Structures are given as C-alpha cells and as structure tokens.
A and B are shown apart, each in its own frame.
Chain A
Amino acid sequence: MGFELNRFQGDVDEELICPICSGVLEDPLQAPTCEHAFCKSCITEWISRQPTCPVDRQNVTSAQLRQVPRILRNLLSRLCIHCDNAPYGCTRVLKLDSLQNHLEECEFNPKRPLPCEQGCGLIIPKDELKDHNCVKELRSLIHTQQQKIDDFHKDLAEQRFVINEQKREMQLLKEFIRAIRISNPSMRAIADAMERDEVLRWSNTLQRARVNRWGGMISTPDEVLQRMIRRTLTEIGCPPHILDDLMENCHERRWPPGLCSLETRQNNRRQYENYVCKRVPGKQAVVVLACDNTHMGEDMMVEPGLVMIFAHGIE
C-alpha cells in the first residue's frame, strides 16, 4: 500500500499515484504493454484475484510485471515526506528515498527497542517502557524458561525410553542372528565377519596405552579385581561376544605359551614392547586384542585377545 498523500509537502503529480490504493506509489511495478504503474503490494494482491490490469483490464500475470522507468523512480525519490512518526513528535521531512534509513534510527519511533535501565537489562519497545515492571517481566521470563526446561525433561525421558527400547530390540536381533548363524554355515561366515568388524570398531574407540613397568603385571588376579575390570569393559562398549573370552584370558593359566609361566615371561621380556595395548579407562589394566597384534608371534597371542592387569605403571 502506498504512502498517504497528506504526508507529502506540496502537490504530488497524479502520475505518481497508485490507482489501486490512491496513495503515492511504493515499490512501484508496471504492467508490460499498457505501462500502468501500481504499488507492488497492491498489484500483487489484485493479480492474485484477477490476472488483468486494474485500469484497462489487459491480461497481466505477476511474472510479467516490470520495474518502472528510472525517471518515474527519480521523481518519486525526490518527493518530500513527513516521517511516519510525525504523530509522535518527529518533525523531520525527508526525501522519499531516505525515509527508510531515517525510520531505522528515528528516536520518536514508539516501538524503538530500548534496554531497561532499572536493572533487568531486557530490551523493550519504547512505548512499553513506562509500564515496564522488571520483576513481572523476569517472572514471566522464568516461567517460560521453566516450561521449556520441563518440556526438555519430558523429551529426555521419552528419548531414554526410545533408546532402551532400541537396545532391547538390538539385543533380540543379535540373539536372532546368533541363532541363524548356528543353523546355517554360510550365515556363520557372514556373522563372524560382522563380529570381527565389531571388535575392530571397538578397538578404534579405545586409547593406546603405554606400559612403563611390565614387571607390575598381575598374572593371577583375584575375583574382585576381575569383576571390576569386567564391569569397566562392559561400560566402554566391549562387544559381548568377546567379553567372556577376554576376561577368561586375564589369568596366566589361559595365556599363550610365551606368557604362561614366570620363566617364559622372563625369556620373552624384550617382545613386550611390541604389544599394541589399549587403555581400560581409570584402571591399571590394558586390553591386548588379537586383531591389533597380528604382528606378534603365535606363542605370544590368543584369540580374541588378552587382558593384562597391573599393580601400577600404566599411562
């Protein structure tokens, strides 16, 4: 919709008036052949109802609307208009093309955002400043925040539920796959490959460990120690199909020939440095996975890997 005529200084030529709103043309566009000009918003509204020129009814579509000639735009931009905020005390009279810039900073704009100076720091439209009450505003702010938090909590609970459901389903699927694998040999090969991948993926999530004192190795850990390490391995996502075997392999009775007695261990001491060890977070223990240690000799490694528990010396 165009600018009201009575906001302008002096007479405005009839050619600069929008035939639809009868105001002074705002963002004018013209029809292609007859060249009648209208405000952009006016002609768009009209064409949405009827694709014709409102003056002479020639067919026009919105795609055919064109920009008006430069001379018309220049004539418009030279018109002098009173600021929109004249009713609020602004006395500025501006060229039409600088009106927009002025409006953005006009201090008489009743909606100009100002920070509250009484302490709450909220940004409020100027005309609402005098009725502004910090406590009330902040209270309503807290209220809405609280609502949001509640919503998030609800969301969170739902998500947790969904995750648990999915975990359960995954477990079922794994059981199912295991069952299929047992009954079908080719499935067994696929499943074995999948399990190997799973171990590799898990291994990649673990950090490399450095063993400073191989001498601190506990070759016969007790039940309590074993349970603790087992719990931690579960927590860091150890694939369940290797968990039992891995934990079995934390005792020297299951270790490979090269490690199984104090004597062989002493003989092979120099090979220890070649092990690729992974940290068990927060514990003086490392996981030595077979898939990480294919370079080690057969007498130094067992499937699916070893757990070595130390008294100290792990970084």
Chain B
Amino acid sequence: MANIAAQRIKREFKEVIKSEEVAKCAIRVELLNDTFTELKGEIAGPPDTPYEGGTFVLEIKVPETYPFNPPKVRFVTKIWHPNISSVTGAICLDILKDQWAAAMTLRTVLLSLQALLSAAEPDDPQDAVVAKQYKENNEMFQITARHWTNVYAGGPNINKDCDDKIRRLADMGIEEHQARVALSSYDWELERATEQLFS
C-alpha cells in the first residue's frame, strides 16, 4: 500500500478513536488487517429517525490511491433506506463518488453517512423500491425502516404486526428474510406479497 495512504489511515484511525463522537458511541472504526486496507466502521442510528437505537456495520476498503480517491464503503448491516441498496448495501452518496475531496477523513465519511440516515435523498435513490415507498407512503416507510432496524441492527422497537406477517409466510415455507423483503416491498400487504412470492 502506498505510504501516503497508510500514513493517512493510521492518523485518521487515531482521530476517530479520540473524537467526541466515539465518546458518545456515535461512530467507531476497527482495523481488519495490518496493512490498513480494510476497516470495519460502525455508526449509531441517529435519534428521531426510524434508525434510532440501531448499530450499523460498514465495510470500508481503502484504495491504493487514497486519499486522492475516496474509500469504498458499503453497509454490511441490512438497512431500509432510499439511498442504500436493501440488497447489496451499496451507498449512493456524492462524497463517496465525484464529490470526494482529499481532506475528507474516515471520521467525516462516517458522520456524513450518519447524516444521510437522518436526511434521505429520495430523488437520487440507490434503491428504487424504498425510494418509491418513502415518497408515496412515508408512514409505511417509517414502519418498515424501524422494523429492519429492530431485526438487523439491534433496534429496540419491536413491531408485532410485522413479525406476525413474516411468521405467516414462514409457515408457508418462505425464508424469513425473503418474506421480509416481499412484505416490505408491498407495504406489508400479505396478499400481494404472497402473490409475488409464489408467482
């Protein structure tokens, strides 16, 4: 790995550890190897959002050309958000693409992602299904996002109605996550979800 990239990551790693956000348990970084090319990030779901109380794990890959090119970041924890793929965890955020600037750091990236959870950009979606729900049935979006946070990110808000519907599909032999995706995509209407799953 290029010297400059390693030097930067070492320093940024310390910066995150010392930052006040860590003190508030809002962000965290962990090294996955000695060469500073792969890191694990964590951000807390921001308060007053459906993600509140959840912890979201990120995969961070540092390219050879860092910091002249942005790090490659992806959600490992499954999440229901217009700008994050519910399938792959890929993120649509300008600073991770053409709006990257060399002075940005792991800390600013994590904080930007946290901000993205607070303020989605449904007009620039990564997940069209989620974005459509966000715009057309925001109440249902809130429920779904909160439910996903509960199931995948350890959020506190259990939604009994959602769990029941998933169990009913599971009883029919559908895998749980598949059932959740189908129900989430059809505003938790059991009939339409079933129809889609068995068509």
Q: Is there a chain A Cβ closer than 8 Å to B72's Cβ?
A: no
| A window 46-87: CB within 8 A of B | 46, 49-50, 52-57
B157-184 to A contact mask, C-beta < 8 Å, 1/0? 0000000000000000000000000000
Q: Is there a chain B Cβ closer than 8 Å to A284's Cβ?
A: no
Q: Which of B4, B8, B101 contacts A54 (CB 8 A)?
A: B101
Report the minimum CB–CB distance from A108 to chain B (whole Å).
21
User: Which residues of B lie under 8 Å from residue A19 when comparing CB positions?
Assistant: 102-103
- Expressed in whole angstroms, the Cα–Cα distance for A182 and B7 within the complex equals 85
Q: How large is the interface on B (under 10, 10 to 19, 20 to 34, 35 or more residues)?
A: 10 to 19
Report the minimum CB–CB distance from A95 to chain B (whole Å).
23
Q: Is there a chain A Cβ closer than 8 Å to B33's Cβ?
A: no
Report the minimum CB–CB distance from A24 to chain B (whole Å).
11
Q: Is there contact, CB below 8 Å, between A5 and B11?
A: yes
| A window 19-66: CB within 8 A of B | 19-23, 36, 42, 45-46, 49-50, 52-57
Contacts A20-B67, A46-B68, A49-B68: A57 and B101 contacting too (C-beta < 8 A)?
yes
Report the minimum CB–CB distance from B163 to chain A (whole Å).
46
- Expressed in whole angstroms, the Cα–Cα distance for A75 and B24 within the complex equals 35
Q: Is there a chain A Cβ closer than 8 Å to B64's Cβ?
A: no
User: Which residues of A lie under 8 Å from residue B8 when comparing CB positions?
Assistant: 21-22
Report the minimum CB–CB distance from A76 to chain B (whole Å).
18
- Expressed in whole angstroms, the Cα–Cα distance for A54 and B100 within the complex equals 8
- Expressed in whole angstroms, the Cα–Cα distance for A1 and B4 within the complex equals 7
Q: Is there contact, CB below 8 Å, between A57 and B7?
A: no
- Expressed in whole angstroms, the Cα–Cα distance for A55 and B102 within the complex equals 7
Q: Is there a chain A Cβ closer than 8 Å to B99's Cβ?
A: yes
Q: Is there contact, CB below 8 Å, between B102 and A57?
A: no
Q: Is there a chain B Cβ closer than 8 Å to A192's Cβ?
A: no
Q: Is there contact, CB below 8 Å, between B101 and A22?
A: no
Q: With CB as the reference atom, state the residue of chain B lying closest to A5.
A: B11
User: Which residues of A lie under 8 Å from residue B199 when comparing CB positions?
Assistant: none
- Expressed in whole angstroms, the Cα–Cα distance for A21 and B102 within the complex equals 9
Q: Is there contact, CB below 8 Å, between B7 and A54?
A: no
Report the minimum CB–CB distance from A23 to chain B (whole Å).
6
User: Which residues of A lie under 8 Å from residue B68 when comparing CB positions?
Assistant: 20, 45-46, 49
Q: Is there contact, CB below 8 Å, between B11 and A54?
A: no
Query: What are 8 contact pairs spanning A and B, CB under 8 A?
Result: A19-B102, A20-B103, A22-B12, A23-B7, A42-B102, A49-B68, A49-B69, A54-B101
User: Besides the contacts A1-B4, A23-B7, A49-B69, what 16 more A-B pairs have beta carbons closer than 8 Å?
Assistant: A4-B7, A5-B11, A19-B102, A20-B102, A20-B103, A21-B7, A22-B7, A36-B103, A42-B102, A45-B68, A46-B102, A52-B101, A54-B102, A55-B103, A56-B101, A57-B101
The 3 closest A-B pairs by CB, nearest first: A54-B102, A19-B103, A55-B103
Residues on A facing B (Cβ under 8 Å): 1, 4-5, 19-23, 36, 42, 45-46, 49-50, 52-57
